[in-house]
Amino acid sequence: MTADGPAPDTLAPSRDLTLRVGTFEGPLDLLLHLCRTSEIDLAHLPVRTITDQYLAHLEAVEFRDLETAGAYLVMAATLIYLKSKLLVPPDPSETELLDEEGLALRQELEARLREYARVKTLGAWLATREAEQALLWGRPGSGLPPAEEIPLEDLSVHLLERAVRRLIEDQQRLRPREVEPNPPSVLERMTEILSLLRDTWSLLFSSLAGGERRRSEVVVTLLAVLELVRLGRIRTQQTELFGEIVIERQTASPAEEPTRADAS
Amino acid sequence: MPTPADVLEALLFASDTPLELERIREVLELPDARAARALMDELRARYEASSGALTILEVGGGFRLVTRPALAPWLVRLARARTRARLSRPALETLAIVGYKQPVSRPEVDAIRGVNSEAVLDNLLERRLLRIAGRKDAPGRPFLYETTREFLVAFGLRDVGDLPKVEGELIVPELASVTDHGEAAAQQDPGAGGADVPAGG
Amino acid sequence: MPTPADVLEALLFASDTPLELERIREVLELPDARAARALMDELRARYEASSGALTILEVGGGFRLVTRPALAPWLVRLARARTRARLSRPALETLAIVGYKQPVSRPEVDAIRGVNSEAVLDNLLERRLLRIAGRKDAPGRPFLYETTREFLVAFGLRDVGDLPKVEGELIVPELASVTDHGEAAAQQDPGAGGADVPAGG
């Protein structure tokens, strides 16, 4: 495994800060570290202990940027929420009891942690492979005659024909959209966001609208987010003006269970 | 007159990317890939028998001629300035995710790592360890990422199948209660340390 | 344990410039250049005795490991096979666009393909399948590209009029509406060098 600190290829400007954060690469990494040091079984997460430890560590963490800070805070909020769902008064000898929703949330957290643990292990495995390969030297550069000195053999003209056909077909498929920009409807986007939030409880706005920075896409996404907030299906946080917007799943919609609103 | 094995040796020597069996077959006008493989085996046996400085590696869908690991100390001295920048932990973890989930989009990578992975992905693209495999049919139509041959070479893998099986490490017991939360919740890790991955795979 | 001759072999193999005796002396911590020369003679004798593909050449004040001249024809064949294989899908697409729409500027190629085509165009220029035909009278005065005689030869065409007729028309989008698109310029073509993409994919 390489040293825990970031190697030279990470983002240059954030390096110093990252080092001060310690060796954590995000909230899951911190959480996993806490579980490992306390020998916590990832299949039976003690909510109270882990929440208290996480919050205690959070104070010592210096964030590399607002977005990362947001990610840590979303995790903190989730843990606090989860802790608030514990049914029985604290009794360390008892196993913790949660209601159905809390149970599901905890299992999801456990599953994410296990997945992250696997990723980390695989990352470490890759690091050892990389180190092994660093002991091998190949030939520097190619010993073959350079491309421009090699006469090309006949290429089939059908390759060109196929390529141009493909392009024309693509254009014909896309043309209606090009002429009359037809961004996905707000409703469609809302459905998509909710379905994404089934797999994870928080999303970054930038990663939703980030693939293609078309203004219309961003606008539709924003409208969809606002509408979902209004409907109480999601929560959003933006820690600073023009900062990253964090989108979280709102598990219980106030419309269905109005009393929950006070609790959270 | 050079023997076929000599020709193969020359091809390996001159090639800066892994040499595929199909390419060998083509250049040497062999009947099939099996014949190319047999010739490769012959040459490899010759290299193993002589205890010279070089050895043949099967990697990235082809074969490479490289120096033996034992010679690294002297080569380091030769190339004083040669410092291959090692990959950072975020880079390795991101590669791990793409390696076993490919093709995978940035939001998915973000979700697994719990942090924004844009910069790391860009960096890995630039290093040609990843490439864009298309776009996902999802909000924002995000790019899909997959690993490259460069990735295989950098980690000495024949193909992505050489990656250790992480999924298979999990024991999936019957879960009585929650059915709503699908596969994620249904997977049960044997224990806290349960993510051990056997090398070699 | 590697012998000094093995170390020398590794140094020759991994060195990208002719290896000087002084350098050998230094890396192997030999007493003087004579000792380095003696070692080189030993290795050369070994290479001459075995009739493999490689030989040691004294050149430019140093020594190089090279393939024997008799093997050159196969190396040309390999290079040719690879060049052909390396006409990746992006390369063929770009060639097709230029072939059918020449002369055409890079922003226009970008707009049709939806991705940045700079690297592909450079590659095709280098291969002499395309050449620059001048500059377009448009914002930024971009280069115009057209196909070359090599292009015709490679595809077995007498002239570009011989290109097969295809149904439908390839439309070159109006660039005014395209520049606002932004994304095209931001995104590098993943298959740029095309090394990983097999022909005709």
Kindly state whether residues C147 and C121 are assigned to the same domain. Answer: yes
Per-residue pLDDT of B167-200, as tens digits, reads: 544 322 222 222 333 333 333 333 333 333 333 3
Chain mean pLDDT for chain C: 83
Q: How far apart are the first and last CA of chain C?
A: 46
Three-state SS for C147?
A: strand
10-residue stretch averages of pLDDT, chain B, 201 residues long: 93 93 94 96 92 92 94 85 75 94 90 90 92 81 90 92 67 28 35 37 31
Q: In A241-260, which positions are buried (b, 16+ CB within 10 angstroms) versus exposed (e)?
A: eeebbbbbbbbeeeeeeeee
What is the tens place of the pLDDT at every residue in C68-112?
Answer: 999 999 998 898 887 776 677 888 899 999 999 999 999 999 888
The CATH code of the domain that includes C30 is 1.10.10.10
Q: What type of residue is C180?
A: D
Where is pLDDT greater, at B196 or A201?
A201
C73-92 in b/e form (b: 16+ CB < 10 A) is: ebbbbbbbbbbbbbbbbbbb
Same domain, C110 and C174: yes
pLDDT value for B187: 36
Chains contacting C (3+ CB pairs below 8 angstroms): A, B
Task: Identify all chain A residues contacting C163, using CB atoms and an 8 Å cutoff.
Answer: 157, 160-161
Same domain (yes/no): C24, C93:
no
Q: Any chain C CB within 8 A of the CB of A139? A: yes
The beta-carbon neighbor of B87 closest among A9, A112, A121 is A9
Return contacts of A157-162, CB within 8 angstroms, 24+ apart.
A157/C155, A157/C156, A157/C157, A157/C162, A157/C163, A157/C164, A158/C164, A159/C87, A159/C92, A159/C199, A159/C200, A160/C92, A160/C95, A160/C96, A160/C99, A160/C155, A160/C163, A160/C164, A161/C96, A161/C163, A161/C164, A161/C166, A162/C92, A162/C200
Same domain, residue pair B105 and B45:
no
A155 touches chain C (CB under 8 A): yes
Taking contacts as CB-CB distances below 8 angstroms, the residues of chain A near C157 are: 157
For the purposes of burial, counting CB atoms within 10 Å of the CB of A90, is it exposed (0-12), middle (13-18) or buried (19 or more)?
exposed
Distance from CA of B33 to the nearest CA of A (A): 22
Confidence of residue C154 (pLDDT cuts 50, 70, 90): confident
B93 plus B153 within the same structural domain:
yes
CA B108/CA B142 separation, integer angstroms? 10
Confidence (pLDDT) at A242:
65
Query: By residue range, what is the domain housing residue B189?
Result: 86-198
pLDDT at C48 over 50: yes
Residue C62 inside a domain? The answer is: yes
Tens digit of pLDDT for each residue in C173-192? 776 544 444 444 444 444 44
Overall number of domains in chain B: 2
pLDDT of residue C197: 36
pLDDT of residue A100: 83
Nearest CA in chain C to B132: C190
Q: Is residue B160 part of a domain?
A: yes
Give yes or no: residues B94 and B182 share one domain: yes
Asked if the ipTM is above 0.90, the reply is no
Verify that B98 and B54 share a domain, yes or no.
Answer: no
Contact B14 A143 (CB under 8 A): yes
Contact assignment for B154 to A114 by CB distance below 8 Å: no
Residues of B in contact with A118 (CB under 8 A): 166, 169, 195, 197
Instruction: Give A105 or A214, the one with higher predicted confidence.
Output: A105
Interface-testing mutation among A139, A150, A218, with chain C (most C C-beta atoms within 10 A): A150
Residue A145 touches chain C, beta carbons under 8 Å: yes
Which of chain B's residues have a Cβ under 8 Å away from the Cβ of C27? Answer: 74, 77-78
Q: Does residue C156 form part of some domain?
A: yes
pLDDT band at A94 (very low <50, low <70, confident <90, very high): low
* Percent of the residues in chain A that have a pLDDT greater than 90, as a whole number: 4
Q: What is the pLDDT of residue A68?
A: 78
pLDDT in tens, A13-59: 333 333 344 578 889 999 998 998 888 888 888 888 899 999 888 87
Domain boundary among C22, C51, C74: C74
Residue B99 and residue B163 share a domain: yes
Q: Is A116 exposed, middle or buried (0-12, 13-18, 19+ CB in 10 A)?
A: buried
Residues B109, B188, single domain; the answer is: yes
Residues of B in Cβ contact (< 8 Å) with A144: 14-16
Residue B133, amino acid? A
CA dist A51 and A34 (Å) reads: 10
- Count how many Cα atoms sit within 13 Å of the Cα of residue B142 in the half-sphere of its side chain: 23
Q: What is the number of helices (H) and of strands (E) in chain A?
A: 10, 3
Token duo for residue B168:
């298979």
pLDDT beyond 60 at A78: yes
